Chains A and B, each alone.
Chain A
């Protein structure tokens, strides 16, 4: 007892006393002691909460620094001080002018600038500069002269605040300060090592553009602009994150996107007050409608053609610097089933694949549950021969069917996770060992029945058909399995109805999330994909104005076909006309 005393979790009560109290059966004192302890804990928590409420908010990098001084040394000292005297801050002293009478400094951060731009755009012109007429005096005149006539760069702007200079330097620009001037110049010299545009790993296509977004936000906006060369394509820059100061850009078609949705997105982005945004997932989590729903209400993609199509349908794209994943809002449930390839391949096949995807999604949710329901409750619905073989296979397996299938689903999830995270060659080895060897061994050792392995395998394969809804499917699958094991077919029906009700209650930025079962015009692009010339309107609910995509016309079907009923002379007319034309 005494040896354990110091591990006793209650602070404030001497454990020995407690032991004595318990031994003496003096429950009254004991309860007083414990209540006192509880009271103290609660008041401590209350104080903590009050303290938390009192704090004046976290550190913010956006604070405006003081204005610049005339003396260069003071400015440089301030900059060094406020950039924590970092070693990657480079201050390059300059002397320029016909007689080298002006001294200045170039400030930048190593690794974030393009060396070529600095040499050709700043250093060389400054060294070679010979003013034509009279010398401008030190001060704003000189800075203007430098900005207009000397420096060769795409973006040059004067600044007067030291805070701005720090921010610009941190985003890769170069500051040029001149002794005796209370303004400096910011020259756009951004340039760092970046990944070039390549085929995205997460969304591969057979037919369609293979380019994907990169981590560079300017590149990403350009990729979208290249797809939509419309003056109405609005791009708006926001800076989010107190410390990370991440660039976040909204892109939407001004005359198509719903103003309510745009305002809602801006409102939610403005509300967010965080330290850093490292990936668009951060933004998604802060702005989504239903954080505790298994269904995601913000879409994302890595491909410019997908995002361009979403923008054209009236959605708002949210680009985040530092990640190739671009968010789109509002998201509809049906979006997860539409891929760009549906629109690049011919409608018949595309519709077939679309239906396949729906079936696959249903299988990935309901197949294990159905198996459980059928084998444990409704054996009469299984054809007799199949029932015999299932009974044969299940003979000798030690676990109830729920446990068996749960175990297999769990094993599959482990394998999938391992396969994704490991380097590719090892990942393949894992999946071979896991799927083939373990599955086979488990069946032949009699741990699980072969039908369970088959069911889980088809579930697993089917779940890859709709990758965007994979997380929802894995949650729902387990729920359905539990329901099926308690109340069989009825449980599955009620579970499905509950999912429907939940889907119906969801909204994404004010747009109903799930409307797939209603009789609306949107059915043209839901279970089937109608020909492109048929879908002349943008989907309902998302765009506000300009809902018509194009003029409706039916392309000429089989223009050169000669029908049997056609008269003889018509048959002759065709070649004649063609001959005349030539």
Chain B
């Protein structure tokens, strides 16, 4: 857990600080679009919460439609 926090704080310091300094809110949106899901997934994984797999779900969905080998 500590490692996750340290790692993500480092990313925050390295990238968000220059973004805020340049006041480019578009970059900030792009940054948080990936940063927050990444942090959430990392914490969930740390807590051993099973996150459903998108690829398997898509595969099952396709199989239900009969599109598969």
Query: Touch between A and B in complex, CB under 8 Å?
Result: no
A interface residue numbers (CB < 8 A to B):
none
B interface residue numbers (CB < 8 A to A):
none
